[in-house]
Amino acid sequence: MILLSLATAGMVAQNNPLLENYQTPFEAVPFDKITLEHFIPAMEKVIEKGRSEVNGVIENNQPPTFENTIVAMENAGKDVGRVSKVIFNLNSMETTPELQKIVQTVSAKLTDYRNDIFLNDKLYQRVKKVFDNRDALQLSGENAMLLEKSYKGFYRNGANLNPEDKEKLRALNKRLSELGLKFGENVLKETNEFAKYITNEADLKGLPDFVLAAAKDAAAKDGKEGWKFTIQAPSYGPLMQYADNRELRKEMFMAFNTRAFKGNEFDNSGIIKELANLRYEKATLLGYETWADYILEERMANSKQIVLDFLEDIREVAEPAAKKEIEELNAYAKLNGFEGERLERWDASYYAEKLKKEKYEINDEILKPYFSLESTLSGLFTLCNNLWGITFKKNDNIPTWHKDVMVYEIYDKNGEFLALWYGDYFPRKGKRAGAWNNTLRDEWVENGKEIRPHVVNVCNFSKPTGDAPSLLTFNEVETLYHEFGHALHNIFAKGNYGSLTGTSVSWDFVELPSQLMENFVSEPQILNTFAKHYKTGEVIPKDLVIKIKESATFMSGTVSMRQLAFGYLDMTWHGNNPNSFDINEVEAKSDVTRMLYPEVPGISISSAFSHIFSGGYSAGYYSYKWSEVLDADAYELFSQNGVINTKVAQSFRDNILSKGGTVHAMELFKNFRGREPKVDAMFKRSGLINVP
């Protein structure tokens, strides 16, 4: 899709495709017909319609009931969600400066719209009356959950506040929305603007052919000689692993770790402090001690102390292992030419890659030829067919936002349509870094008809170069499976209410399906179905499969400590009063990896920590480790029953994937596993402790 500039947009026809029934296969979003001029008028129109629907509930003269109040509110504003999904998905995947301005306007309108709902006392009183009468209603599980969530949504969004405090909350919500958008824009701008061009090939010693080919191609596309390197993951990661040039590694490390922390117009320092303080102010206004207390009320780990104890329990096991790993890495480096006293952070990936290859005779250069994007997707589809019987049909006639995007129709084993799935796998200027899952349409039931979801997976992998297809590192293969695990949560969604289906679950439960899918990648019987050399078609040799398994726990203590550091940093910002916090002091206090490497002045994690400052993970980053406990324990059931076990897979689908948030997360896990989760499986899998 090409978005017209605002200057030319006025010449487009009056009809607004966002306000019409989509005349496309499966009512897919007509991205080929949408231009910039359509967004704000469409949003204004659907918000007006949404307000009318909400007012219909408020002004209903009948006594409040579950149907005329709770269900009616669930159905009100459906078009607001439909249009906003298009706009915000595009802002992540194909943004422009013009679109960013539109999103700022749209966000302000949405904030006002939502505030007007949750802060309306008359509406709140209707909801409260239904909730107070819940025992007499004898609602089913899904209906009972909708009532509970609806009521909590009101009081957690300020319905109980006095008029003066409601106005304060309105202002806070508006400013928080603005700051979150600006934070993300700054990170994207800083990431896109950095480019390192190298013309002397001697400076690139150690880099594999696949890295050089991609860098050469990137430079050529800019009309330049030599090689281009960026701080996008497909370029940055391999350079840090393989480049012999230590000064180059340091330069790239500093560029990556000073994003939005340079004191320029894109510096996020002030935004971080304001965000943290306003979140704290909002939480206290709503009656909570800190932002973390507010957020965690609706999580499996429902208190700060539970989260901190959980992190400490893992640290107790991971820290001794990490120290031994770094001692071994330092010793190895000194035996192989390193002359410093201790490895710096820009040395770690480089020497770890060398040590891993020496220990296991394996690295990305050896493995990448077996993992083309095409074959990896084919293997993923085969796995899902074997587990659940679902099938995939490519559809090149579905409009997309970029020519690189692929679309598949997904069908159940009985031939019923399940979902549309979009895959967007290559980096570009208007696309934010990282990997994520989202939806353009959720699943729900409307007038007796089931609406099936449209799901989006986004990653940033190396593009094809020359005669080579897109080749993935093993970590990228895991990422692809991870995001499709999220997609399965949406694809298998089954429920009456969109607010409870798919990934609408406790935030520390949402990573269970995604992280569980990563486990399948290293299974020999699965690797043999898709890991084939892109030139020869040779199936990955058995010895490489064994080495993948053996190397899976390499540096696992250090990796765990890095994740814990992010979790502690998140909880420091959000589990306290941050009024007097200094970014450097917060990071120094939180970074539990500091004992592993010398301090590096002038860098910042927080300044580009999009997960917690512009994503949905504030006071929730611990959930990656929390879900790791869940997925390791859940996957043991697959392992104990032959991995490709349709009975276990169907149970996982029935008890977890299809249920969404219709049942409390712990109950869902117990229904699948037969008990509450145990941490032993995670420690065993990571090699941190020996568990019989």
The Cα–Cα gap between 540 and 222 comes to 36
Q: Is 483 a catalytic residue?
A: yes
pLDDT, tens digit (0-9, with 9 covering 90-100), for 249-274: 999 999 999 999 999 999 999 999 99
- Overall average pLDDT of the 139-144 stretch: 95
Contact 513, 486 (CB under 8 A): yes
Q: How confident is the model at residue 334 (pLDDT cuts 50, 70, 90)?
A: very high
Q: In the 8-state DSSP scheme, what is residue 539?
A: B
Spatial distance between the Cα atoms of 656 and 645, rounded to a whole number of angstroms: 16
* b/e sequence 422-431, b meaning 16+ C-beta within 10 Å: bbbbbbeebb
Q: Per-residue pLDDT tens for 108-134?
A: 999 999 999 999 999 999 999 999 999
> Do residues 543 and 377 touch, judged by C-beta distance below 8 A?
no
Closest of 60, 157, 65, 167 to residue 117, by C-alpha? 157
Q: Which residues contact 515 (CB under 8 A, 6 or more apart)?
A: 482, 485, 624, 627, 628, 630, 631
Straight-line distance from the first to the last Cα atom of the chain, in angstroms, rounded to the nearest whole number: 55
The answer to whether the beta carbons of residues 630 and 677 sit under 8 Å apart is yes
Average confidence (pLDDT) over 136-154: 96
Average confidence (pLDDT) over 154-162: 96
The mean per-residue pLDDT over the stretch 555-563 comes to: 97
Sign of the torsion angle spanned by Cα atoms 496, 499, 502, 504:
negative
How far, rounded to the nearest angstrom, does the alpha carbon of residue 127 sit from its chain's CA centroid? 32
CB of 293 closer than 8 Å to CB of 576: no
Separation of alpha carbons 36 and 21, rounded Å: 19
pLDDT value of residue 466: 86
Q: What pairing do the DSSP bridges indicate for beta strands 444-446 and 436-441? A: unpaired
Beta strand segments in 341-461, E: 391-394, 406-411, 417-424, 436-441, 444-446, 449-451, 454-458
**Other beta carbons within 10 Å of 284:** 15
For the residues of 578-623, what is the DSSP string, one character each?
Answer: -TT--HHHHHHHH-TTTTTS---TT--SGGG-HHHHTSS-TTTTTH
Q: For residue 396, what are the contacts with CB-CB under 8 A and spacing of at least 6?
A: 407
pLDDT of residue 620: 97
Which listed CATH number (3.50.50.60, 1.10.1370.40, 2.40.160.20, 1.10.10.10) goes with 6-160? 1.10.1370.40
Q: Which secondary-structure segment (H or E) carries 229?
A: strand 227-229
Summarize pLDDT for 502-555 with one digit per residue, the tens: 999 999 999 999 999 999 999 999 999 999 999 999 999 999 999 999 999 999
Looking at the DSSP bridge assignments, the partners of residue 372 are 471
Q: What confidence score (pLDDT) does residue 252 get?
A: 98
Lookup result for tokens 């600006």: 182
For the beta carbon of residue 163, count every other beta carbon within 10 angstroms: 8
The residue written with tokens 């349709």 in the block is 646
Q: How far apart are CA 512 and CA 666, in angstroms?
A: 12
**Cα gap 499→510, rounded to integer Å:** 14
Q: What is the domain partition of the chain in residue ranges?
A: 6-160, 194-257, 369-554
Provide CB contacts within 8 A for 97, sequence distance 6+: none
Q: Do domains 6-160 and 369-554 have the same CATH topology?
A: yes
For residue 544, give every residue at least 6 positions away whose Cβ sits within 8 Å of its Cβ, in sequence order, or none. 362, 366, 367, 370
Lowest-confidence segment of 26-40, 563-577, 578-592, 676-690 by average pLDDT: 676-690
Residue partners of 370: CB distance under 8 A and separation at least 6: 531, 532, 533, 534, 540, 544
Fill in the amino acid letter for 556.
S
Task: Tell me the sheet residues that pair with 198.
Answer: 227
Length in residues, the chain: 692
Rounded to the nearest integer, the mean pLDDT of the chain is 95
pLDDT beyond 90 at 248: yes
Catalytic residue chosen out of the listed positions 74, 281, 483, 523: 483
pLDDT tier for residue 211 given thresholds of 50, 70 and 90: very high
* Beta-bridge mates of residue 420: 409, 454
Quick one: tokens of 569?
């940093």
- Residue 157 structure tokens: 């969004």
Q: Which residues contact 420 (CB under 8 A, 6 or more apart)?
A: 26, 28, 395, 398, 407, 408, 409, 410, 452, 453, 454, 455
DSSP string of 159-204, one letter each residue: TTS-HHHHHHHHHHHHHHHHHHHHHHHHHHHHHHH--EEE--GGGG
**Residue whose entry in the numeric block shows the structure tokens 């190396």:** 462
With a threshold of 0.75, does the pTM exceed it? yes
Separation CA 643–CA 633 (nearest Å): 13
Range 369-554 has CATH code 1.10.1370.40: yes
- List, for residues 1-55, the tens digit of each pLDDT value: 445 444 334 434 468 999 999 999 999 999 999 999 999 999 999 999 999 999 9
Indicate if the pLDDT at residue 202 is higher than 90: yes
Task: Write out pLDDT tens, residues 423-447.
Answer: 999 999 999 989 999 999 999 999 9
User: What pLDDT does residue 690 have?
Assistant: 65
Strand intervals (E) in 425-534: 436-441, 444-446, 449-451, 454-458
Tokens of 582: 């200094």
